[in-house]
Amino acid sequence: MKKQNEDNDYNIEFETIWSLYPNKQGKLKAKQSYIKARKNGTTYEEVYMGLERYIRYCRREQWYKPKHGSTWFNQQCWADEIDEGDNIEITKDNFGNYVIWGKPW
């Protein structure tokens, strides 16, 4: 029962992070990579914070095309060192949509 609850938690976490990811290609592979990383000790916060850094980078460097989701998750890119640039925060608007830099994602 614990494994089933853990897997369900990982699925919910993944869906939250996936909803923010800018290039939604390869969802199944991305989810498998995320769950494997979580089971190997990576925390949700590590992935979430890594994604925030990556989104800031992608928005700042407009020439850069975000990696396919399956690539980003498989290569554990949340651990990459990325120039922080401007501080932004991912929040939800009054309708439950995620907002980055005041623009719906």
pTM above 0.85, yes or no: no
Element (H, E) at 50: helix 44-60
Q: How far is CA 60 from CA 8, 9, 82, in A?
A: 34, 32, 12
Q: Which of 3-12, 61-70, 93-102 has the lowest mean pLDDT?
A: 93-102
pLDDT, tens only, 37-72: 999 999 999 999 999 999 988 888 878 899 999 999
> Domain residues of the chain, as ranges?
2-104
pLDDT at 85 over 70: no
